[in-house]
Structure 1
Amino acid sequence: MVHNLVISNVPGPPMPIYLLGAHVTGLYPLGPVVHGAGLNITVLSEAGKVDIGLLAARELVPDLWHLADAMPEALQELLAARP
């Protein structure tokens, strides 16, 4: 196995986006869980907002909700550490 985690950052448009005149209020980032990888974390930005998608192989990451639940506190720690 070469790796077990894939992290991807996809910068989106810096302004709000619309589809057929309707404001898009949420984006759902996702990426592949390739053979041998247990977890994919994809970050997608749009109009100053960041969405994070988590996909996992169930046999390698049996409790993905635990990781998802820890995200808000970890992101607050990162923001507090900014210069």
Structure 2
Amino acid sequence: MSSMKPNSVHGGVKTHSSRSSSRRSELIALKQAEAESAKIKLKYTQQEAALLKQKAESEANLQVLSQQKVLKATLQK
């Protein structure tokens, strides 16, 4: 009879150790994918924030311009 070592692959059958290592590799790959996804989301969130800031500044400038227009029209009467 052949003896099987615990924690080894024998005859193509995975033992506890190789299953554990495989699962660990899967978890690492999953965490790396999640981190990459978070980086991409952060990039787009930063771009969106920059555009919202520009929009707010433009709207504020339009309000100032509108008030200047009203003031000028009032002074010219």
TM norm. shorter chain > 0.5: no
Larger RCO (alpha carbons 8 Å, 6+ apart): 1
Structure with the greater alpha carbon radius of gyration = 2
